[in-house]
Amino acid sequence: MTPGQSEQSLFGREVELVVITGYSGAGKSEAIAAFEDSGYFCVDNLPPRMIATLGELLRHRGSGVRRAAVVTDVRGGDLFADLVAVLDELSERLDPTLLFLEADEETLTDRFKETRRRHPMAPDGRVVEGIRAEREVLGPLRERADVVMDTGGLTGAMLRRRITTDLLGPRADSKLALTILTFGFKNGPPRDADLVFDVRFLPNPHYREDLRPLTGLDPEVVEHVEAGDLAREYYQRLLPLLDFLLPAYVAEGKTHLTIAFGCTGGRHRSVTIADRVALHLAGRDDVSVRLAHRDVELG
């Protein structure tokens, strides 16, 4: 970023191309998700020479694409070395924004341990050596970046919020991207959920042999979970609460929200409740609903 230039001024052009790069494990996938939620055309793991092609596409009004964000990194192998030259070429015609994500060595190491992913520059499994090698390779790009963002201490949801708040800003025409997630407490709670509801107080189909192999989407399970007054009274309180909260989040400028429902295994009760909630919210014009069942095959 040049002296005196704010992060916000880097965006908002008539034609925008944002190139996202940085260290492996620094959150590039979460970053591009934030751009996608804000209406950008997004591509992950795009070789640099193809970025140049996308840049040409953006310059033609007939393409219909006016804002794009791409992730490119060392996964491209030798092709990644072309990135500096490509940025030089694009700067003459399009002036792309380079967003660089970083984190300290300890944070990156911990993230790789948690996900058990292989570091792209450590094929022998020595993550720390891979991180250090990548830091040397990416040094010139970090110096060149318009925005450098430290993601240490940020969860995926926190990173998306920071990008939206600091770089993109709220858009009047954007919807709240709402993820309704189900999970089983025995498999661990989700780390990125904004709101978590525990529905283990409802009747448990697991204890009926005929219902155990089914899921919360099957009518027999739904009938069992929603039998009696307990589920009905829960819906009477839960749905108005969400109707109250969602417009407040939209007004605050939030673009992504994850609501998680958990039961013991994540197969029956949470799935039934989440499906009912998704159906209730599906007709809203300020929310885009996505339903995800994390543990339905494990419960």
The DSSP line for the chain is --TT--SGGGS--SSEEEEEEE-TTSSHHHHHHHHHHTT-EEESS--HHHHHHHHHHHH-GGG---EEEEE--GGGGGGGGGHHHHHHHHHTTT--EEEEEE--HHHHHHHHHHHTPPPTT-TTS-HHHHHHHHHHHHHHHHHH-SEEEE-TT--HHHHHHHHIIIII---TTPPEEEEEEEEEGGG---SS-SEEEE-TTS--GGGSTTTTTS-TTSHHHHHHHT-SHHHHHHHHHHHHHHHHHHHHHHHTT--EEEEEEEESSSSSHHHHHHHHHHHHHTT-SSEEEEEEESSTTT-
Spatial separation of the C-alpha atoms in residues 70 and 85, rounded to whole Å: 16
99 close to 144: Cβ distance less than 8 angstroms = no
CB atoms within 10 A of CB 2: 7
User: Model confidence over 259-279: pLDDT tens digits?
Assistant: 999 999 999 999 999 999 999
User: Model confidence over 110-136: pLDDT tens digits?
Assistant: 888 777 677 877 767 688 888 888 888
The CATH code that applies to domain 8-168 is 3.40.50.300
Structure confidence at residue 61 as a pLDDT band (50, 70, 90): low
110 close to 116: Cβ distance less than 8 angstroms = no
pLDDT value, residue 281: 93
pLDDT value, residue 1: 42
45 close to 76: Cβ distance less than 8 angstroms = yes
For residue 173, what are its two tokens? Answer: 């025409």
Among 82-86, 139-143, 277-281, 292-296, the minimum mean pLDDT is found in 82-86
pTM exceeds 0.85 for this model: no
Please write down the HEC assignment for all residues of 228-287: CHHHHHHHHHHHHHHHHHHHHHHHCCCCEEEEEEEECCCCCHHHHHHHHHHHHHCCCCCE
The domain segmentation of the chain, as residue ranges, is: 8-168, 176-293
pLDDT value, residue 266: 94
- Comparison of pLDDT for 6 and 267, the residue scoring more: 267
pLDDT value, residue 73: 82
256-263, strands of its sheet edge to edge: 195-198, 256-263, 176-184, 287-293
Spatial separation of the C-alpha atoms in residues 33 and 35, rounded to whole Å: 5
Spatial separation of the C-alpha atoms in residues 280 and 246, rounded to whole Å: 13
164 close to 37: Cβ distance less than 8 angstroms = yes
